[in-house]
Chain A
Amino acid sequence: MAVTSTMGGPIVNYFGGHKPLPQSDIGIAYGLNGKTTVHTALHPTQLALFGLFGMDIGINTELVEPDGARPRVMVDGTLYFFAGNNAEGLPKGGARLFPDIQVVAAWPVGNHHFYTGLDNFIQPFPVLRWFPSPMLGTELRAGPVGFQFETKWLGWFSDTDNLTPSWAAPGKQGAISTQMGINLYFGGAQ
């Protein structure tokens, strides 16, 4: 079992400069066995700043065991739920579900992990949209504590030039996201 937390997000120009959005989540992960973990989290920043309730629930499992240079291959499926502003009148609020599927290859180095993969964020309605995003990351372990750093290139196929807000990305394509996390493990590594 682990308590998980992350902070950070896409880098965008706000309040006088480019910086990661202050997204956050805090949750728990529970290992069902040596290969499969279920997890859930709340998103406090959205709630505190914007009154938007957000949570997610998901499961990941190991598809391929690591062996020498061969990485561990994992797949994760997560469903995000956000809802807010149900007040009368315009503009209207509402609720949204966003499925997300990640496929990750991870290389263990001692107790640490380095990983790369593809994240697939999906907006199923009102218009179907799919945002595949390559990612790189690491989790550095110090005893029961894991320090995680991850970067993603969101929507690299989308021209984000001439947009407000101004996202930071190579060639003004998509947006670069950076996140850091702290994971606290109980009962052995997950």
Chain B
Amino acid sequence: MRRAIICALALSGSGCMNLDFVVLDGEDVDEPNSADAAGYELSRDIIADQYIEEITFQSTDGTLLTGVWATHDEPKPPLIYFHGNTNHLGRYWHWIELYWQWDTHDIFIFDYRGYGKSEGSSTYDIIEEDGLAAVGYVSDHTGTAPEDIPMIALSLGASVLVHTNDEIGAQSIIIHDMFLSTTASGNDGTGLDLPNGWLFASDFDNGTAVQDIQSPIFVIHGEADDYVQSKYATEVYDNAPDPKELWIPPGINHARIVDDIPDEYSDRAVEWLERWD
């Protein structure tokens, strides 16, 4: 006959432990988890071996990061992909395969620190630096100004991208399934309005950061997202400066758009990219 305890409070707190690991779920390929027990072995089924090149580059503090190019016979303009919070770039290779088949860009994907073969360990502030470093690397490597490079991002990668794009431009950006902030996610998840510092060590305040982006933005969020609620997309879209576009495809779960409606997605994404090319 004792008292009830509300659900959120066991997750609350800071100092000894926080829930940033929910957002920053990097996996070292030497210690693969059940989500991808083999680490990453990039498929050659769609992109042949001669078009795949793994490289390393330095982040702003010298940490060595790993990236992969998917190129074509003739060089094409670069496109940078910022992947989501799970595992490593191998988990997102099918997104790269789709983009590669557009035959419009050479695609660059990279692992943030603490992900895949990249060194270090992830924190929110640091992976922002990795986003800036990746743009810098691609710009230097291809001789293309950042303002001429389109960028696409998923979930955590979208957070990195909007925090990158408020400092350095892009030709245009497409973000998928981005959360608004850890405050919003924490409150939704617990049903309470707890101090965010109880739950997380980082704000991940994407809703504010998107107000300061420098580039045209296409906000895409699957309506049936059961990981990051699609209602956030509307607020992200409302906060973003013009020019901007919003698409909430019905019935699409988190990070599933490439799997479920690749043709429709490709049509809309390519049209968006061409609009700013």
Residues of chain A whose beta carbon lies under 8 Å from any beta carbon of chain B: 4, 6, 9-10, 12, 16, 21-23, 25, 39, 43, 45-52, 54, 56, 58, 60, 74, 76, 78, 80, 82, 84-85, 87, 90-94, 96, 98, 100, 102, 104, 106, 113, 115, 117, 119, 121, 123, 126-127, 129, 131, 133, 135, 137, 139, 148, 150, 152, 154-155, 158, 160-167, 175, 177, 179, 181
Contacts and interface: CB of A to CB of B under 8 A. Distances in A.
Interface in B4-27: 4-7, 9-18, 22
B15 A51 contact: yes
Given A60-B1, A96-B194, A49 B7 contact: no
Interface string B201-223: 11100000000000000000000
17 contacts: A21-B7, A21-B11, A22-B10, A23-B10, A46-B9, A52-B198, A84-B198, A85-B197, A93-B14, A94-B197, A96-B194, A102-B1, A123-B192, A126-B193, A129-B191, A158-B191, A179-B2
A162 B1 contact: no
Given A23-B10, A121-B6, A175-B7, A49 B16 contact: yes
B162 to A, nearest CB: 17
Given A74-B1, A162-B229, A164-B189, A50 B7 contact: no
A94 B203 CA distance: 15
B3 A56 contact: yes
B233 interface: no
Given A115-B1, A123-B193, A162-B226, A91 B201 contact: yes
A91 B185 contact: no
Contacts of A139: 1
Contacts of A133: 4
Given A104-B1, A129-B191, A131-B191, A167 B6 contact: no
A51 to B, nearest CB: 3
A167 B7 contact: yes
A119 B197 contact: no
Contact of A164 (B10, B22, B194): B22
Nearest to B179: A164
A43 B9 contact: yes
The prevalent SS among residues of A at the interface is strand
Contacts of A158: 191
B6 A131 contact: yes
B218 to A, nearest CB: 23
Nearest to A92: B197
B185 A164 contact: yes
Nearest to A155: B191
B188 interface: yes
Nearest to A14: B11
Given A104-B1, A121-B6, A154-B6, 19 more contacts: A21-B10, A46-B13, A50-B11, A52-B9, A52-B198, A74-B1, A80-B3, A80-B5, A84-B14, A85-B15, A91-B202, A92-B197, A102-B3, A119-B4, A135-B4, A150-B2, A162-B225, A163-B189, A177-B4
